Amino acid sequence: VKYDTRDEVFVAGARAWLEEIHESDITSFSWVLAHSPGYYPSTLRDLWLEELQRRTLAATHEPVGPVAAASLPVGHPLDYDWRFTEGARSTLLACLDQTTIAGEAIAYLGTPTLFAQAVSSVGDRRHVLVDANGPMVEALQAGIGANRAIQLRLGVEPPPPALAVDAAVLDPPWYPGDTLDFMEAASAMVRPGGVVLLSQPTLATRPGVQAERADLVATSGQLGFKLERTLGSGLRYVTPHFERMSLTAEEPGFPVSDDWRTGDLLVFRRTSSEARTLPRRTRADSESWREVSFGPVRMKLRGAGAGDLLKVDEGLDRLVTVSRRDPARDRVGFWTSGNRVRTLQSVEAVGSLVAMCENDLVHMTFTHSRTRLQAAQFGLDHRVADDLFEILLLEYQEHVAGGYGDLA
């Protein structure tokens, strides 16, 4: 389901953008995706095909690009884990270099990869990360060996007390409520005169961004921040494994480039000296999930939908969008880092069974018959054991193929 194509004005904007592209470039989908201001690839692809038809042009045949390897834990859709490209990290580090001086402190809210690079390459500033992603924070703590990475869910838990910084970089999930949670936390930390660098969706990301942006700037004013400048499409993201899997599930062989997603960089200055808060808001996505893993594969579990490991909707193996507005999400209780989704009721039993399977994987004894035997110990029937075995095997292979198989 493509929610953005239901908005006629948004679609007209995308068509107008495509119409402007020169004939020598329009036949290459890679070119169009690489220069797009952020349209979702499968939406862009449909409109691009229409545009080729209108101009009676044929598409250029292109090879699919290589996938990115990663040494950090694979991203999970529930963490909205879109990581910066090297270029985006350089842009942000250059901004921090201009706006802070030696000895000053910088907070990284939801920006773990930037934090990791800053810690290793900008030794004369102090750096602190606040992020909700447990496995990511643990991996960074293990690498850095200090408590400068704090695991905390902003908007649900209060920001760390007495954390005063001179600048902050924020990359919240791209929804207005989450962005305000992050801005409110920054308001409690950043000193007057300090800078906040915030990543936000471009106007092409989805319909309604323009109105959201106006609200954000107004509410940030109430929090004591003044927007100084906006760098349109100033940041780029590496296509995460879950998004690649969604796009190729929708259309096998879909030519997903490594860095099609782009974001606007907003630069705010703290103008007020008092910490300010906003009226309490209801949170859209505050359910608690338990996390388990199988080698590089991450799975989030909660009780939702009817039965164990059943399809959430007829024929639906993976979510084909990563949108929070997808109504199927309410019935998801088992969600992999490959964006495969199922219902789940026996959270404890399935969680324990996955832990046993992971132990078997490490000891090279992971087999179908052992999974069935162990399932019986937890009161789970053969069908659940069979389905889990198949999912774990498939996911493992897909993660390894995507460059996430390093268990060392």
Which spans of this chain sit near ligand SAM (rule: CB under 6 A)? 79-84, 110-114, 131-133, 153-155, 171, 173, 178, 181
Closest CB 45 distance from ligand SAM, rounded Å: 23
Q: Which pair of structure tokens corresponds to residue 308?
A: 């164990």
- Residue closer to ligand SAM by CB (options 132, 216) is 132
- Residue closer to ligand SAM by CB (options 301, 388) is 301
Closest CB 129 distance from ligand SAM, rounded Å: 9
Q: Strands (DSSP E) along 105-183, which ranges?
A: 105-109, 126-131, 149-151, 165-170
What backbone torsions phi and psi does residue 301 show, to the nearest 5 degrees?
A: -125, 145
Rounded CA-CA distance 32/34 in Å is 6
- Residue closer to ligand SAM by CB (options 45, 125) is 125
Question: Which residues are 201's β-sheet partners?
Answer: 263
Residue 364, Ramachandran bin (φ over 0: left; ψ between -120 and 50: alpha; else beta): left
- Residue closer to ligand SAM by CB (options 163, 356) is 163
Closest CB 164 distance from ligand SAM, rounded Å: 19
Closest CB 75 distance from ligand SAM, rounded Å: 8
Closest CB 301 distance from ligand SAM, rounded Å: 17
Rounded CA-CA distance 303/354 in Å is 16
- Terminal CA-to-CA distance of the chain, rounded, Å? 39
Rounded CA-CA distance 11/35 in Å is 17
- Residue closer to ligand SAM by CB (options 92, 309) is 92
- Residue closer to ligand SAM by CB (options 45, 89) is 89
Closest CB 224 distance from ligand SAM, rounded Å: 20
Rounded CA-CA distance 135/33 in Å is 32
Closest CB 372 distance from ligand SAM, rounded Å: 35
Say if residue 306 is exposed, middle or buried (CB neighbours under 10 Å; 0-12, 13-18, 19+): exposed
Helix H or strand E segment including 243: helix 241-250
- Residue closer to ligand SAM by CB (options 83, 340) is 83
Q: Which of 319, 244, 292 is nearest to 388 (CA)?
A: 292
Residue with nearest beta carbon to ligand SAM: 110
Rounded CA-CA distance 201/199 in Å is 7
Is the four-CA dihedral 58, 60, 61, 65 of positive or negative sign?
Answer: negative
- Residue closer to ligand SAM by CB (options 51, 184) is 184
Closest CB 245 distance from ligand SAM, rounded Å: 17
